[in-house]
Amino acid sequence: RRRIRPVAKACGGREARPRARAAPAAASGPPTRSSGDAMKSHSIAQETQTSGPEMVEDPAKGDGAAQAGSKAPAASTLPGLRWLVTGIAAATFVVSAVTLALVVRLDNDNSEPAAAAGTVSVREMGGAFFGNGPNPCHARKPVHADAEAEDNYFQNVECLEDGVLQVLEQAGANVTAGYVGGLDASGREPITEPYWKMGLCPVNVHWHLGAEHLSVGEFDEDGKGPGYTYEGADYSTDNEGRRLQGATVREGFLCHWYDEADARFTTEYDWQHCIGMEVGETYEVHWPHSAAGACNTPHQYQTPFYDGVFCNDGVISLDPLNTYEKIGVQSQVFTVINDEAFYYPDLMRGMIVDGDYGQDIAKYTGSTTGTSRNNEICSRFTPITWQVDRKCHLISASSFDKLCADMKAQRDDMTDDLHAHGSRELVADELAANNLRGK
């Protein structure tokens, strides 16, 4: 006996032709990178399978008579069988037609109900899966000390007036081991535990061109980048410290990794999501955390970050003062390299703590930063805790681009944080707290 492919005789002795199997669609574009894994090329082995019992031809019973342990249907059942098959086919056609009509209707429908004030639409967000809904953190950045004050307490002010200090400690400061600031911060100790242990969650992520903090030997005046060295360039921003269109952004301190002879620092990356980024450049990434954030909700991440920090009432207080216990910022400095060996998939969640990353941490109290402040004009969002990695690390360009893609997927619109912001000049000793903790 020889083995043959299954071929069955159907009604009326007519041969049932096997239905052609559609060829698998060819994969298009680069492989997608899943959260938690570096992008790796892969191949999929396709296996050809046959279904049903194997049929064995019996020459004695005639060509094509299949033995599968069953008898042919009685002749009286064939008309009913035909009607059943015909009915199923017709019903399947109707369902398919209705489904196709619905798909075409949805695909061509560009209308969308107008979103109420303070809400975000799916189309505006680029397809975020939560749809329309109020943002409880919208416009939560405070202006006054309290609802009745009308005192513009949180507006930037002159750091000194007639030689008298008008503000509390500022940031970014010198975080080099052993540094002691000149401002007495007695009674205001920074958070020394990981923020999550104290009930704080990340509410934003953004970064600055160059480093705002100083860590001698890691990111300082002797660092270098693509085409230039640290000069503290001129800059122009609005009153929120945001970059103005076409303006030069002030650059901070630079790391020492850049090597113009190494193609990994000079080969450009095809950025898909981040704006204005450059391979070989130094960036200081900030993750503001807050105990008053919309933690573990779709509204956790906000731009501007102040909305996320002050989202919930009754947590942060100026009297009694608890801001340095309820607000904290993680800071980590990177040089961007075009090398997937330095890929990290989840910069959205916070500082990298792995191997040498996130091990040598300086902790102190300071203020918010940005180029609307300097050593003459200071921030009133103070004191808050800072936890700063003293080391400069390498990170792949694709890691940053993945971060920007994640930012685009948030409920709130984080577009204004997809590019580097300018760096505040180093805080003068008399404005830096004397409570630096760490190794």
pLDDT in tens, 109-142: 433 333 333 333 333 333 334 455 799 999 999 9
CA 284/CA 52 separation, integer angstroms: 62
User: Residue 439's pLDDT is what?
Assistant: 64
User: Residue 47's pLDDT is what?
Assistant: 36
Q: Which residue has the higher pLDDT, 205 or 100?
A: 205
286: β partners: 206, 331
Encode pLDDT of 276-319 as tens digits.
999 999 999 999 999 999 999 999 999 999 999 999 999 999 99
- Please write down the HEC assignment for all residues of 196-212: HHHCCEECCCEEEEEEC
| SS3 category, 229 | strand
- Is the pLDDT confidence value at 233 over 70? no
- Is the pLDDT confidence value at 243 over 80? no
In the structure encoding, which two tokens stand for residue 67, read together? 């033995």
E strands, 291-425, where? 327-337, 361-366, 377-378, 384-396
- Is the pLDDT confidence value at 274 over 50? yes
Report percent pLDDT > 90 for the chain.
63
User: Residue 184's pLDDT is what?
Assistant: 98
Banded model confidence at residue 15, pLDDT cuts 50, 70, 90: very low
Residue 401 is classified by DSSP as H
Q: Is 311 left (phi over 0), alpha (psi -120 to 50) or beta?
A: alpha
User: Residue 320's pLDDT is what?
Assistant: 96
Q: What is the mean pLDDT of residues 405-422?
A: 97
| SS3 category, 412 | coil
| SS3 category, 225 | strand
CA 136/CA 196 separation, integer angstroms: 22
Which residues lie below 8 Å from residue 208, measured CB to CB, with a gap of 6+? 252, 283, 284, 286, 369, 420, 421, 422, 423
Q: Which residue has the higher pLDDT, 246 or 386?
A: 386
- Is the pLDDT confidence value at 227 over 80? no
Q: What is the mean pLDDT of residues 135-159?
A: 93
CA 244/CA 14 separation, integer angstroms: 77
Q: Are 296 and 217 in contact (CB under 8 A)?
A: no
Cα separation values, 199 from 101, 319, 327, Å:
50, 20, 10
Closest Cα to residue 213, out of 275, 303, 304, 286?
286
CA 206/CA 190 separation, integer angstroms: 22
Q: Are 12 and 63 in contact (CB under 8 A)?
A: no
- 140-154, 188-202, 415-429, range with the lowest pLDDT: 140-154
Average pLDDT of the chain, as a whole number: 77
- Is the pLDDT confidence value at 405 over 90? yes
- Is the pLDDT confidence value at 84 over 60? no
User: Residue 249's pLDDT is what?
Assistant: 86
Dump the DSSP string for 92-130: HHHHHHHHHHHHHHHHH----PPPPTTB--HHHHTS-TT
- Is the pLDDT confidence value at 266 over 80? yes
User: Residue 93's pLDDT is what?
Assistant: 57
- Is the pLDDT confidence value at 231 over 60? no
In the structure encoding, which two tokens stand for residue 368, read together? 């918010």
In the structure encoding, which two tokens stand for residue 398, read together? 């694709």
User: Residue 86's pLDDT is what?
Assistant: 59
Encode pLDDT of 318-343 as tens digits.
999 999 999 999 999 999 999 999 99
Cα-based angle 285, 290, 291 (whole degrees, multiple of 5): 155
In the structure encoding, which two tokens stand for residue 426, read together? 């180093």
Encode pLDDT of 352-393 as tens digits.
999 999 999 999 999 999 999 999 999 999 999 999 999 999
Q: Which residue has the higher pLDDT, 261 or 65?
A: 261
Q: Tell the residue number behind the tokens 């944080």, with chain if given.
A: 417
User: Residue 285's pLDDT is what?
Assistant: 98
CA 383/CA 362 separation, integer angstroms: 16
